[in-house]
Amino acid sequence: FVSYSKAGAGQGGDDSKVLLSTNCFEVLGGTGDLIDFCTKPLSNVSPLSASDKDFITFDFDNDLLPTKLANEKEIYLCAQAITTDGKVITKCEGVPAMQFKPLPNDEYRLVIYPRAFFGLEKGQTLTQISYKIANKTGSIQVGKRGTDEAFVYKFTPCN
């Protein structure tokens, strides 16, 4: 973690105002969901804030910790999307549109356009996606910290 200790620091080449720290930090008293800035997540979605009209990217690190997917090379998304009117849309199939693309170091990535991916109709809006990472058949699924608890991504409403 790098921060400046005085206002206006970083200008004029005076590095004596730079504060370096390897300790984690905690923000208390805020609102919203917890964001862990200290531990690399098994899976994450970016951007951190988006509407269902934005492309979102799912990343999965199959080498971060031992999971039931350790020997799998074909990785898929298994997801439930919830609309503002309470409708639940489930997508959990071993089809190309749901398959993560392999990256170096046993990491995987999938980019989706949520409205098309979940087949939303005009007037429908997504509030969140609960998801797990799965093998092709869906028989093996991994959630938060390698458990059965689903990851959750909440959408930011458009103004």
Within-domain flag for 58: yes
The pLDDT value recorded for residue 30 is 76
Give the separation between CA 88 and CA 80, rounded to whole angstroms. Answer: 6
pTM of this structure: 0.80
Within-domain flag for 1: no
Within-domain flag for 117: yes
- Torsion-angle region of 138 (φ positive above 0: left; ψ -120 to 50: alpha; else: beta): left
The pLDDT value recorded for residue 1 is 44
Give the separation between CA 145 and CA 140, rounded to whole angstroms. Answer: 15
Within-domain flag for 11: no
What token pair was written down for 47? 């951007």
Respond yes or no on whether the N-terminal peptide bond of residue 47 is cis (omega within 30° of 0). Answer: yes
State how many domains the chain has: 1
CATH of the domain at 65: 2.60.40
Q: What is the pLDDT along the chain (159 residues), one digit of tens a residue?
A: 455 555 554 555 555 566 666 777 777 777 766 666 677 889 999 998 899 999 999 999 999 999 999 989 999 999 999 999 999 999 999 999 999 999 999 999 999 999 999 999 999 999 999 999 999 999 999 999 999 999 999 998 765
The pLDDT value recorded for residue 57 is 98
What token pair was written down for 37? 């800035």
The pLDDT value recorded for residue 31 is 74
Structural domain including 51 reads 31-154
Give the separation between CA 146 and CA 65, rounded to whole angstroms. Answer: 8
Within-domain flag for 15: no
113: phi then psi, degrees, rounded to nearest 5: -105, 105
